[in-house]
Amino acid sequence: GIEIKKLRAEAGLITLDPGYKNTGSCESAITFLDGEKGILRYRGYAIEDLAEKADFLEVAFLLIFGELPNKEQLEKFTNDIKEQSHVDEEMKKILDGFPKAAHPMGVLASLTSALTAFNPSSVDVSSEGDMYKAIVKIMGKFPVLAAWTLRKKHSLPLNYGDESLDYVENLHKMMFEKPGKSYKVDKTVIDALDKLLILHADHEQNCSTSTVRMVGSSHAGLFASISAGVSALWGPLHGGANQAVIEMLERIKEDGGDTHKFMEKAKDKEDPFRLMGFGHRVYKNFDPRAKIIKKSADEVLGQLGVDDPVLDIAKGLEKEALEDDYFVQRKLYPNVDFYSGIIYRALGIPVEMFTVMFALGRLPGWIAQWREMRLNKEPIGRPRQIYVGPNHRDFKPLGSR
């Protein structure tokens, strides 16, 4: 609950709400969600319709500019992004300096930040025209950087996109094409990836998006704000959960598949273990994205002929949790990341890239929220605090401590 404390007479009342559980930070016209009813809409359109009927760049345009694009608008947006799908060659040297074992999210955050150095005109933007240029730049360059983090890990030569392909297939090709081998991909894979990116594209004021708005509120540029968003997303309580889920399911499998044992572990307050992929700050009924992804996991694995035993473990855990008092009382349901990792794995995406895939999906949401914040001329974000440290103390020189 919110605590209201009187700080000092001149400061007036300060609301104390750790984790901002009940505190709104802005007015926004981008994403609506009703956690009690399990409703999620981007700019008024149901997530179920968008996941089924739209493609990722249409959804990106919708989120950023507020309306679904017509044919000409989509064509222009797509081409403007394609024109930006190269990064400065010097960026390769930066990537080269990272150890191979580095986590791709750390590398991606650093490279995104480094983009500011090579695109100084994108830093200080205030007109809508300048914003548009910065937006298509980051939409074009971010997938290159994301693909490179994977290529570095797998010692593959660094490449650029193929302008004849659409956004998602191009991303897939940049990640997976191998020298000397012709690149081919099943349409099922691209469709599934497209859907996953759409489902992750925005989720109102979550941790990474609030970070993007907060950093952007100081008028640091778009790329610096996105880089901060990548760092915020990395944590296992947020986007990092998709990697943590698959690692947990693997651990349960290797331990003999006893889901009950792990349920009990998650309920034990002395044990730091949590059931990853369960629970959500806002959804207290079900996460509509999880419903779509669960169905999609079944379809994709079926179409690709993949038989993954961890899917059965996941379904077993979900079934057990739905009947368990601890989980029912706390309204803990599978979230978007409970099943996404299983699909990513079936699509051949390595586990350490799962959160990068999330970041690729979330990019348009971060951009839309940053743009809205700037167009609304929001003030710099600067929360207050309740000071609980010592009162005035007399300084003691080092020798007398």
* Nearest CB to ligand ACO, comparing residues 154 and 330: 330
Binding flag, residue 277, ligand ACO (CB under 6 A):
yes
124 is catalytic: no
- DSSP for 77-143, written as a single string: HHHHHHTT----TTHHHHHHTS-TTS-HHHHHHHHHHHHHHH-GGGTS--SHHHHHHHHHHHHHHHH
| Rounded Cα gap, residues 168 and 164, in angstroms | 12
Q: What are phi and psi of 258, to 5 degrees?
A: -85, 95
* Nearest CB to ligand ACO, comparing residues 149 and 206: 206
Binding flag, residue 301, ligand ACO (CB under 6 A):
no
CB of 275 to ligand ACO, least distance (A): 4
Return the residue of 133, 219, 253, 274 that touches ligand ACO, per CB under 6 A.
274
Tokens of 159: 């490449």
Cα dist. 123→21, 86, 114, 130, 308 in Å? 32, 18, 12, 10, 45
Binding flag, residue 196, ligand ACO (CB under 6 A):
no
103 is catalytic: no
Q: Where on the phi/psi map is residue 88: left (φ > 0), alpha (ψ -120 to 50), or beta?
A: beta
3-state SS, residue 343: helix
CB of 273 to ligand ACO, least distance (A): 8
State which of positions 305-364 bind ligand ACO (CB under 6 A). 330, 332, 335-337
Alpha helix positions (H), 255-391: 259-267, 288-304, 309-322, 325-329, 336-346, 354-375
Query: Under rule CB under 6 A, how many of the chain's residues touch ligand ACO?
Result: 19
Return the residue of 4, 117, 237, 386 that touches ligand ACO, per CB under 6 A.
237
- The single residue of 203, 238, 280, 308 carrying the catalytic annotation is 280
* Nearest CB to ligand ACO, comparing residues 39 and 165: 39
Tokens of 10: 């001149």
CB of 336 to ligand ACO, least distance (A): 5
State which of positions 86-105 bind ligand ACO (CB under 6 A). none
CB of 329 to ligand ACO, least distance (A): 9
State which of positions 15-34 bind ligand ACO (CB under 6 A). 19
Binding flag, residue 239, ligand ACO (CB under 6 A):
yes
Q: Are 193 and 175 within 8 A, CB to CB?
A: no
Tokens of 66: 């507020």
Q: Are 55 and 47 within 8 A, CB to CB?
A: no
* Nearest CB to ligand ACO, comparing residues 20 and 65: 20
Buried/exposed code over 220-245 (b: 16+ C-beta within 10 A; e: otherwise): bbbbbbbbbbbbbbbebebbbbbbbb
Q: Are 242 and 355 within 8 A, CB to CB?
A: yes
Binding flag, residue 238, ligand ACO (CB under 6 A):
yes
- The single residue of 55, 287, 308, 337 carrying the catalytic annotation is 337
Cα dihedral angle (223, 225, 230, 236), rounded to 10 degrees? 180
* Nearest CB to ligand ACO, comparing residues 167 and 283: 283
CB of 277 to ligand ACO, least distance (A): 5
* Nearest CB to ligand ACO, comparing residues 235 and 350: 235
Q: Which residue numbers are catalytic?
A: 280, 337
Site residues (vs ligand ACO, CB under 6 A):
19, 237-239, 241, 266, 274-281, 330, 332, 335-337
